[in-house]
Structure 1
C-alpha cells in the first residue's frame, strides 16, 4: 500500500526539482526528504528519480506515478470540499496567492468586504506570487485560490487539472509623461498606433517576465524592435521613470491605478489585453468559504 504522505512529497519534488527546494516547500529537512523518497522507491520496487547535475529528474515510472498522484490529490480535495459543503457554517481560512497588482486592488477590496461581512468566520492568508509560482503552490496544496493572468500576445501554458474562472480583461495601455506631445489636446486622434513609436525610447519589464514577451511581440508586429533604455522589475518603477523622462512604456491598466500624477495613459492600436482569472483545484470552489471569496473577487473585478 502506497502512503499518501510520500506520494505528496514526490508530487512536490516534480515541481521543485531539488531536494533542498522540496524540503523548504514541505517544511522538513533535506535528509528526511531523501529518506522518504527512498522508502517510496522500495515500496514501488522501481526507480522513481535520477540525478542530473544538481537536480533530480523523475524517471518514466516517477512521471507515471506523479500523474496518478495528482488525480488522487484532486479527488481528495474535492471530497473534502464536498464534506465541508454539507455543513451550514461558512467559515475557515482561505489561502490566496496573487500577483502584485491584483493583490493591491482586487484582493485588497475583497479583504475589506470580507472583514465587514464575514469576520471573524472567514480569514484570508495572503501571498504575493507571480502566476507560475502561484500555480506551483496550488498544485502542492499550499494555496486554495490563485489569481493569475495570461497576455493575449504571450499566453502561458495552463494545466487541465485546475478550474479557471474569468475575472476581467485588463487592457494594455501606453504610459507617457503628461507633457509628452502624444498627450497634447487634439494633437492626434486616439488610439495611438504602435508603429508610430518606433523612434521613441522605451522602458520595458524584466526580460524573464510575460509582460516583456508581450511588449516584444506587440512591437515586432508593429514592425520594429523597441529601443530599450531601462528594464524594470516593478511597474511602479517603470511608471516613475515614465514620469521623469522622455521614454514610453506599455503596461496593463490594473498596474497603473496608483501611478504618478504626471503620467498619462493612452489607448493603443492594435489593442491587446491580459486576461485575469482565478484558479482552484478541482472541487475546491465548492468549499463554502472559498466560494464566498471567489464571489467577492468577482465583484471587485466588476467594480474595476
Structure 2
C-alpha cells in the first residue's frame, strides 16, 4: 500500500520543482525528503527521480504518480473537512499567513480571539507577501492567507481558491510635517510629480500598483528609497527623504514629523482572506475566517471614529458578526 506521507513528499517535489523547495514547503530537511523518495521508489519498484544538473527531475513514472498523488491528497483533504464538519469541533492545527501590515493590524486580535474561543485549535502564523501567501495556499503549505489588491488593480486568484473580504482599507499620502503641502486638507497625486517616492521592493505587487497608478496620472515616478515594511517607509518620510502611500491598517503609531493627508480621488486596498475550496467545510477554517472578518470590522469602526491616523491593532474584543459566507458566495 502506498504511504500517504511519501505521496505528500512526491506531491511537494512536483509542485516546488526541487528537493530544497519541497523541504521548505513541508518544514522538513532535504535529507528527509530524499529518504522519503527512496522509500517510495522501493515501494513502487520504479525510479521516480532522475538527476538534472545539480538538481533532480521527475521521471515519467514520477510524473504519473505525482498526478495521482495530487488527486489522492485532495480527496484526503475533503475527507478531513467532512469529518471535521460532521464532528463540528474547531480543533487541530491551522497554518495562516498575512502580509506584514495585516499581520500587525489583524492577527493580534483575530488569533487571540481564536485561542479564547477554541482552545483546542493550534494556529501557526507567519508573514508573507500576498503572492507568496497565495502560492502557499495553492501548494497546501498554508490553510489560509490574508492578501490584498487595490481598487484599480485586482489581484488574480488561481482556480480552486475561495476568498472573503476582511476590510476595505483606505490609504492616504504620508509626507514630512515640513512639506509644502502639509497644511492642506486633501491633496492630488499630480501635486507630487516632483517629489521622491518611498515605495516597496522592485516587482512587489504594491510597488507595481503604485507605479501603474502614478503613470496613469501622467507622473513618471521618482523612486528615492525602497522598504518592504510600512513603518520603515514612514521613518524615511519622517527624516524628510520623500513621501509614501500610507494605508490605514497597521499604520499607527505614526512617527513624529509625519503628516497623513487624504487624496481627492480616494484610494483603497481590498484586504481579503483566501483558502482552498476543498477545505471550505472545515470548522477551523470557517472560525478563522470569521475571526479575521470581525477584526477587520473593528479596524474599520476605529477608523471611522478616530479619523485618518488610526492604529490597525485594536484593543479589546471585536464586535460580534454574522458567520462568514464560504464557497462561491464568499467571493468579493
Q: More deviation in 230-239 or 135-144?
A: 135-144
Listed as ranges, the gaps of 5+ residues in structure 2 are 300-332
The 1:37/1:204 distance shift into structure 2, 3 A limit, reads same
Offset, 1:125: 1.8
Equivalent residue, structure 2, for 1:17: 17
Equivalent residue, structure 2, for 1:298: 293
Distance 2:136 2:45 in 1: 26
Equivalent residue, structure 2, for 1:106: 106
Q: More deviation in 293-302 or 17-26?
A: 17-26
Give yes or no for contact 1:154–1:210 (8 Å, CA) kept in 2: no
Distance 1:157 1:65 in 2: 30
Instruction: Provide, for residues 150-176 of structure 1, a one-character-per-residue CA deviation record: whole Å limited to 9, x for no partner.
Output: 234554442112221221222332111
What number of residue pairs does the alignment pair up? 298
Offset, 1:270: 4.3
Aligned partner of residue 123 in structure 1, secondary structure: strand
Equivalent residue, structure 1, for 2:194: 199
The 1:68/1:175 distance shift into structure 2, 3 A limit, reads farther
Give yes or no for contact 2:97–2:133 (8 Å, CA) kept in 1: yes
Equivalent residue, structure 1, for 2:87: 87
Distance 1:31 1:114 in 2: 35
Offset, 1:77: 1.2
Distance 2:267 2:49 in 1: 44
In the alignment, structure 1 residue 70 sits paired with structure 2 residue 70: yes
Offset, 1:34: 4.2
Distance 2:283 2:22 in 1: 30
Aligned partner of residue 275 in structure 1, secondary structure: strand
In the alignment, structure 1 residue 128 sits paired with structure 2 residue 123: no
Give yes or no for contact 1:41–1:48 (8 Å, CA) kept in 2: no
Offset, 1:210: 1.1
Aligned partner of residue 181 in structure 2, secondary structure: helix
Offset, 1:258: 2.9
Distance 1:41 1:216 in 2: 53
Listed as ranges, the gaps of 5+ residues in structure 1 are none
Equivalent residue, structure 1, for 2:145: 146
> Of the candidates 248, 251, 254, which is equivalent to residue 246 of structure 2?
251
Distance 2:160 2:126 in 1: 22
Offset, 1:98: 1.5
Give yes or no for contact 2:47–2:59 (8 Å, CA) kept in 1: no
In the alignment, structure 1 residue 208 sits paired with structure 2 residue 203: yes
Aligned partner of residue 87 in structure 2, secondary structure: coil
Distance 2:267 2:61 in 1: 43
CA RMSD of aligned residues (A): 3.1
**TM-score using structure 1 length:** 0.83
Give yes or no for contact 2:176–2:259 (8 Å, CA) kept in 1: yes
Offset, 1:275: 1.9
**TM-score using structure 2 length:** 0.76
Equivalent residue, structure 1, for 2:159: 160
The 1:224/1:76 distance shift into structure 2, 3 A limit, reads same
Distance 2:205 2:42 in 1: 38
Offset, 1:254: 1.5
